[in-house]
Amino acid sequence: MSEELRERVAALLAAHDPATTDRLEFLRARFDAGLAWVHFPVGLGGLGAARGDQRIVDEELAKAGAPDNNPRRIGIGLGMAAPTILAFGADEQKRRFLRPLWTGEEVWCQLFSEPGAGSDLAALGTRARRDGDDWVVTGQKVWTSTAHTARWAILVARTDPDVPKHAGMTYFVCDMTDPGVEVRPLRQITGEAEFNEVFLTEVRIPDAHRLGAVGDGWRVAQTTLMNERVAIGGRPVPREGGMIGVVADAWRANPERRTPEAHDRLVKLWVESEALRLAGTRLRQQLAAGSPGPEGSAMKLAFARLAQTLSGFEVELLAEDGLRYDDWTLRRPELVDFTGREAGYRYLRAKGNSIEGGTSEILRNIIAERILGLPSEPRVDKDVPWKDLPK
Amino acid sequence: MSEPNLLYTDVEDDLRASVRDLLADRADGAAVLGRVESAEPHDLGLWRTLAADLGVTSLHVPESLGGQGAGYRETAVVAEELGRSVAPVPFLGSAVLATAALLRVSDDEHARSALAKLAAGDATAALVVPLSAWPGSPLPSVRAEGGGLVGTVRSVADAAVADLLVVPADDGLHLVEAGAARVTPVVSLDLTRPVADVEFSGAASVRVSGSAAAAVDAALLTGAGVLASEQVGVAQWCLDTTVAYLKERYQFGRPVGSFQALKHRLADLWQELVLARAAARYAADRLAAGDQDAPIAVSVAQSLCAAVAVHAAEECVQLHGGIGMTWEHPAHLYLKRAKADEIALGTPGRHRAVLAPLVDLPG
């Protein structure tokens, strides 16, 4: 397979020289050649190959100086919307959405969480009512990154309040340019606004933009969330990549601030960071052979704990410099870098790592119940129609 | 360097299955408890079967020296399974520590002949250092005098059942027939890997050419790396057993495993094991490759896996409630193994002290 892939890459490069080809044109040609995500089906940017083979393509293209699709800018589309559309979309939906999603022509965002539905996502109350060939959607969503740049959103809304909460939801693709969509920045403890609140007022969504069956939204959303955790926990990193590298460098640069007690803590954290990196490698090796399992939950749990401990350690190490903060100005960054800016920012931003994408508490429930097979807590809301739940 | 494979290969999985089947048959909790309370706490019958039928003594010995020429990845899988059953066999002392020391001096014909016997399972050996020694630690002060070896080494693993003692002395590495030394088993914290004191008063020996320090360091590094996999096996048993118990134990009208206060502790433990297993696999792989990153990989694995095994065993006792405190339940065998393993071949703190300069983190 690897030889065939290299030949396909060579053919793409021969027909579309990256040095002289427009970036977007090249990306479209790459998609059409099945080299966008090789594990996707033929005709949808892939070749039906193993997920792990993507690395061969990426390495060959990087060597040739080919442009990429700036994956960090379109992470929600790539990591969450695309696998869900692939798994549940109709053929027409796959053809319409996947190509511009992958090339980055169309940015995606995710409309899941609500002020009243965070960890208990299935309690969400944004209503979608059928009206002819359309659905009319009204409600409020929150913690939506890239909402202000997005063309499309993946949306879960309540279509039947008379059945228990998990049964009454449906999954849609929402047009973010609809006049009923209002996006407001949501300022967070770092001072900036990475996220938004999104107010939906009588937004019309054609039934053709529904993903999966009416009432099947919870199952569709599980696919999205499972892929999100893989995306968060599974990036390949070199040794001392990520927060440990920043903190180790601070340690090396500040010999006068070292103490024996801090030294032992730091080496412990170095060990855990290295083990997390190796576990990430191991997870990717497992994924290369199959599809994402719940193991991503362990990665995210450990990642959040380490990011928080390390960034807190750094602020403490920096002593009088740890008392300062770079900038409280409200800004709307297009990209978020957990290891960017200064120590105070990193410390505060890391607090979100155990909340976003599934709180650490919910992840522990997932691990305990789905991996270890422990029984769930008694569920008082399981058989109660959504409209009768206390809110 | 191509990316190390941190998964288990099909061959390794097959080996694991064979070892696990045998241990399930011969070394379940009741059998192990009965054995360690008997006059002969090491199960030498089981040890002979492991050596003769499954070849666990010859895995990482080159074919030219009578072994299978596999590698430490396979040895580590065996260690994992032995940890999972806490079977009282001298695998660490003989097949890992003594064998690794002799491999380092295998230019010597006496070493080669001893290796052939160990690999074939015809003899069992012990490396005469305290089990608490770590890579780079000072060697015990056994002296080679005119009348033979003189000196005492305390807390040596698996020495009580060794036919052959591999002894670092002040002038080099010596081989001593066990009958020429006084080996005194001591009452040990770890019932399933008891230690013994070894005393030489003019013991006859054969001196092996080559550096004793290099041989011992190689053995301790290898041992520490393989021990990480044993610790993963210990932790895995503790987690599996606790999960099973929390599913069947009812209090307040529901399985206690449904309480978040308990299940979150097990989720944390599972997550620790995910990291520990990755670190242990990496250490085994780098030892197998003879790679220069092996010392870093081993210290990372020991620093982490030792603590994870102790945490798992302590949680196992606590979450079993009263039954976990009984002699009858096997949890205590794992707690004792995990705690002794934390000291064995370098405490986590020692390994962090070894690691810090290797990764440019000056104190």
Q: How many CA atoms lie within 13 A of A21 on its CB side?
A: 20
SS3 A104: coil
Q: Nearest Cα to B4, choosing from B249, B271, B296, B321?
A: B296
Residues 6+ apart with CB under 8 A from A118: A359
Contact criterion met (CB < 8 Å) for B352 and A272: no
Residue spans of the domains in chain A: they are: 1-68, 71-216+382-391, 234-358
Yes or no: say if A276 and A232 are a contact pair by the CB < 8 Å rule. Answer: no
Which residue in chain A is spatially nearest to B348 when comparing CA positions? A268
Does the beta carbon of B300 lie under 8 angstroms from any beta carbon of chain A?
yes
Q: Is the pLDDT of residue A233 over 50?
A: no
The confidence band for A298, taking pLDDT boundaries of 50, 70 and 90, is confident
What gap in Å lies between CA B276 and CA A275, rounded to an integer?
7
What's the mean pLDDT in A279-294? 78
Taking each helix axis from N to C end, the angle separating A243-253 and A260-289, rounded to the nearest 10 degrees, works out to: 150
The pTM is what? 0.90
DSSP code per residue over A307-352: HHHHHHHHHHHTGGGGG--S-------SS--TT-S-HHHHHHHHGG
The confidence band for A232, taking pLDDT boundaries of 50, 70 and 90, is very low
Contact criterion met (CB < 8 Å) for B303 and A365: no
The pLDDT value recorded for residue A391 is: 85
The pLDDT value recorded for residue A230 is: 55
Which residue in chain B is spatially nearest to A281 when comparing CA positions? B6
Q: Which CATH superfamily is domain B214-358 in?
A: Butyryl-CoA Dehydrogenase, subunit A, domain 3 (1.20.140.10)
Interface contacts (A, B; CB < 8 Å):
132
How distant is the alpha carbon of residue B258 from its chain centre? 35
Does the beta carbon of B245 lie under 8 angstroms from any beta carbon of chain A?
no
The tokens describing B153, both together, are 């080494």
Q: Is the pLDDT of residue A2 over 90?
A: no
What gap in Å lies between CA A128 and CA A111, rounded to an integer?
13
Q: Is the pLDDT of residue B274 over 70?
A: yes
Catalogue the E-assigned strands of B47-123: none
Contact criterion met (CB < 8 Å) for A282 and B278: yes
Residues 6+ apart with CB under 8 A from A145: A76, A109, A110, A194, A195, A196, A336
The confidence band for A51, taking pLDDT boundaries of 50, 70 and 90, is confident
Residues 6+ apart with CB under 8 A from B308: B231, B232, B235, B269, B272, B273, B275, B276
Query: pLDDT, tens digit, for every residue of A68-126?
Result: 999 988 999 999 999 999 999 999 999 999 999 999 999 999 999 999 999 999 999 99
SS3 A51: helix
What gap in Å lies between CA B244 and CA B247, rounded to an integer?
5
What's the mean pLDDT in B207-214? 96
CA distance from start to end of chain A: 54
SS3 A205: strand
Nearest-neighbour CA in chain B from A275: distance (Å): 5
Domain A234-358 belongs in CATH node 1.20.140: yes
The confidence band for A229, taking pLDDT boundaries of 50, 70 and 90, is low
Query: Which residue is associated with the tokens 């005119």?
Result: B146
Q: Is the pLDDT of residue B165 over 70?
A: yes
Yes or no: say if A171 and A218 are a contact pair by the CB < 8 Å rule. Answer: no
The pLDDT value recorded for residue A384 is: 95
Interface TM-score (ipTM) > 0.90: yes
Residues 6+ apart with CB under 8 A from A92: A208
Contact criterion met (CB < 8 Å) for B7 and A286: yes
Q: Could you say which architecture CATH assigns to the domain A71-216+382-391?
A: Beta Barrel (2.40)
Query: pLDDT, tens digit, for every residue of A264-284?
Result: 999 999 999 999 999 999 988
Domain B10-123 belongs in CATH node 1.10.540.10: yes
Q: Is the pLDDT of residue B80 over 70?
A: yes
SS3 A6: helix
The pLDDT value recorded for residue B1 is: 52
The pLDDT value recorded for residue A357 is: 83
Which residue in chain B is spatially nearest to A289 when comparing CA positions? B7
Q: Is the pLDDT of residue A234 over 80?
A: no
Residue spans of the domains in chain B: they are: 10-123, 126-210, 214-358
What's the mean pLDDT in B145-154? 96
Contact criterion met (CB < 8 Å) for B7 and A266: no
The pLDDT value recorded for residue A169 is: 98
The tokens describing B46, both together, are 């089981």
* Alpha-carbon distances, residue A44 vs A62, A203, A208, A370 (angstroms): 22, 29, 19, 32
Q: Which of the pair, A223 or B86, is modelled with greater confidence?
A: B86
The pLDDT value recorded for residue B219 is: 98
Q: Report chain B residues whose CB lies below 8 A from the CB of A372.
A: 239, 243, 263, 266-267, 270
What's the mean pLDDT in A54-66? 94
Which helix or strand (DSSP H or E) is residue A163 part of? none
Q: Nearest Cα to B124, choosing from B212, B224, B42, B230?
A: B42
Mutate one of A55, A267, A276 to test the B interface: name it (highest B CB count within 10 A). A267
Nearest-neighbour CA in chain B from A302: distance (Å): 7
Yes or no: say if A215 and A161 are a contact pair by the CB < 8 Å rule. Answer: no
Contact criterion met (CB < 8 Å) for A368 and B266: yes
Amino acid A174 reads C
What gap in Å lies between CA A269 and CA A275, rounded to an integer?
10
The tokens describing A28, both together, are 């479209």
Contact criterion met (CB < 8 Å) for A364 and B267: yes
Q: Report chain B residues whose CB lies below 8 A from the CB of A370.
A: none
Q: Report chain A residues whose CB lies below 8 A from the CB of B281.
A: 278, 282
The tokens describing A128, both together, are 């979608």
Q: Is the pLDDT of residue A231 over 70?
A: no
* B residues 266-295 closer than 8 Å to A (CB): 266-268, 270-271, 274-279, 281-282
Which residue in chain B is spatially nearest to A279 when comparing CA positions? B278
- What is Dmax (Cα atoms) for chain A? 72
Strands B148-157 and A108-111: unpaired
Strands B206-208 and B172-177: antiparallel
Mutate one of B270, B275, B291 to test the A interface: name it (highest A CB count within 10 A). B275
Q: Report chain B residues whose CB lies below 8 A from the CB of A270.
A: 355, 359, 361
Average pLDDT value for chain A: 93
* Alpha-carbon distances, residue B353 vs A255, B286, B309, B349 (angstroms): 17, 20, 20, 6
Residues of A forming the active site: 228
The pLDDT value recorded for residue B359 is: 98
Contact criterion met (CB < 8 Å) for B266 and A374: yes
Q: Report chain A residues whose CB lies below 8 A from the CB of B5.
A: 285
How distant is the alpha carbon of residue B92 from its chain centre? 4
Does the beta carbon of B71 lie under 8 angstroms from any beta carbon of chain A?
no
What's the mean pLDDT in A31-35? 97
Q: Residue A111 forms beta bridges with which residues?
A: A155
The tokens describing B274, both together, are 């995910």
Q: Report chain B residues whose CB lies below 8 A from the CB of A252.
A: 360-362
Which residue in chain B is spatially nearest to A260 when comparing CA positions? B363
Rg (alpha carbons) of chain B, rounded to whole number: 20
B126-210 — its CATH code? 2.40.110.10
Average pLDDT value for chain B: 96
Which residue in chain A is spatially nearest to B239 when comparing CA positions? A372
